[in-house]
Structure 1
Amino acid sequence: MAVTKQLARISVEYLADCRQSASESPDGDPHWDPQPADVLDLDWAPILLERACELAGLDDVHLNALRQATDGDSAIDLGFLNTHPHAIGPFGPAPTALSAAQAAHVSELLVHMNMPAILAALPADDTQTASLIGYGADKIAGDPRKYLLKHFNALREFYLEASQRHLLIVLWWD
């Protein structure tokens, strides 16, 4: 099984409940189980999206928003989600999060990104595009632009709904 980037939309209350469960449980179990509709698997798209945007010359404000959308922030303490044997991201760095306000800000910037135009700036040849992007883009079956557009659209919609529902985002590799 491949390790992929995961995101979950959750409420502050749900995070507090998980924190409390972890502190009260003898083995630190936070009872982390977000609703499937509020979880997004971005596969390996984050670094590929970032690289495609860099190649297309995306401005720093929007590029940083994309990075924040896929990297999170370490300001919210999620150490209780990263303890054995219940770690949600045992194969990567510690989980990160964005507050509801941060998620809303990122959502606003993602909505204004014209990903079809960004992807159109890449070479028309799939092999050449994959070679320029690097990071395993040559392993994508089919058109790498379609793969990136699909994952970007999913990310943008995920953040838009989080913003509308005033939810925070937790990110991890699993």
Structure 2
Amino acid sequence: MALLDRAVSGDPDSDVGFLDHDGVYDGFTDPPRLLEPAAVADIARGLDALDPGALLADLPDSPDEAAAACGFGPLSDGDVRAHLLEHFAAMRQFYLAAALQVQSVVTWVD
């Protein structure tokens, strides 16, 4: 889903060159990206409107199959849905707080 990808990966045309150095960015993944306050607010509204249950509706019932479908290895408690819902809720809260404070967000995968 494009909204979740944007929330995690940022906007590809952003410029945060000051973070483009070996201490932050190793060159193996996408470089750091910036989400301006307007983009943060858009993402916060989008995440608030999403139904997490609907997002997970097509996830296999088997914990092992669900973990594999998500690209995870085996999870110790086997509850992939709970894991995803916990992280979705944290991301939703993070973006809401950032939007309320009119903040930018820098994203990158380390």
Structure 1-normalised TM-score? Answer: 0.56
The residue aligned with 2:90 is: 154
Evaluate the alpha carbon distance shift between residue 159 and residue 134 of structure 1 in structure 2; reply closer, same or farther with a 3 A threshold: closer
Does residue 125 (structure 1) correspond to residue 80 (structure 2)? The answer is no
The residue aligned with 1:108 is: 45
Q: What is the CA deviation profile of residues 40-82 of structure 1, one whole-angstrom value per residue up to 9, with x for unaligned ones? A: xxxxxxxxxxxxxxxxxxxxxxx21111101101333111211
- Unpaired runs of 5+ in structure 2? none
Distance 1:162 1:134 in 2: 27
Instruction: Check the 8 A contact 1:88/1:172 in 2, yes or no.
Output: no
Count of residues in correspondence between the two structures: 108
Does residue 169 (structure 1) correspond to residue 105 (structure 2)? The answer is yes
Aligned-residue Cα RMSD (Å) equals 1.8
4+ residue stretches of structure 1 with deviation over 4 A?
none
- Identity, % of aligned positions: 32
Q: Which amino acid aligns with 2:42?
A: H
Structure with bigger strand share is 1
Matches within 5 A, 1:75-86: 75-84=13-22
Q: Specify the structure having the higher radius of gyration (Cα).
A: 1
Higher relative contact order (CA 8 A, sep 6+): 2
- Unpaired runs of 5+ in structure 1? 1-62
